[in-house]
Amino acid sequence: GNIEEACQLFEEISQPDVFPYSALITGLASHGHGMRALEIFGRMQRAKVDPDCITFVGVLNACSHMGLVEDGLKYWESMMNEYKIEPDADHYACMVDMLGRAGRLEQAYKMVQSMPMGPHPGALGALLAACRTHYNVETAVDIAEVVAEELFKLEPSNTGNYVLLSGIYAARQQWDEAARVRKAMKEKITTKVPGYSWVEAKPIR
């Protein structure tokens, strides 16, 4: 969307409530304007407008993309303790992504384990991608293997998870393991049951 136009429309609102604030913060954060998103959040707090769960998705997303881990952790605590907002799967995914991008894989994994709603593809996928980026971290492979197994169960048809795990093994020159994962992926693709087979669709003459 047009961010400048959105900002202009926002400025025309005399006393914005939580909804326009949240819309602008999440929009800015998702379009790479993290600093502006946090500036708007600061304005929101000074205006004594209480944020909601959507506001914090934008705030945590902004911190994640800018690498502001300590700030993100403070906002996370503030969300729960000051504003009494229970984190949902999207909040956890933002936090896992933030910690993972910073190479704090064990901390990110602990965050995944603490999710009351159980394993979630968004958070697990963010962690697996972080393990690929930071493959040289000592615990990267161990964490990636556990996370990938969960993802294979949750998203059996998502071959991207196999590609990520195979890439981690290849980056660490564990060629046999990389080949094993690629083989498993090919088997998964060939054994997928289609909606109908060519034989069934053929008219009988």
What tokens appear for 160 in the block? 């991207």
């971290």: which residue's tokens?
137
Q: Helix or strand or coil: residue 120?
A: coil
- pLDDT on residue 131: 98
User: May I ask the CATH architecture of the domain 1-86?
Assistant: Alpha Horseshoe (1.25)
What tokens appear for 131 in the block? 């393990």
- pLDDT on residue 1: 60
Give the amino acid at 144.
A
Spelled out in words, what is the top-level CATH class assigned to the domain 112-191? mainly alpha
Dihedral of the CA atoms 54, 55, 61, 62 (nearest 10)? Answer: 160
Q: Mean pLDDT in runs of 10 for the chain (205 residues)?
A: 89 96 97 97 98 98 97 98 97 98 98 94 97 96 97 94 97 97 89 48 41
| Burial per residue of 173-202, b for 16 or more beta-carbon CB atoms within 10 angstroms, e otherwise | eeeebbeebbeebeeeeeeeeeeeeeeeee
The residues spanned by each domain of the chain are 1-86, 112-191
- pLDDT on residue 192: 59
- pLDDT on residue 28: 97
CATH topology match: 1-86 vs 112-191 = yes
Q: How far apart are CA 133 and CA 152, in angstroms?
A: 20
Q: How many residues does the chain have?
A: 205
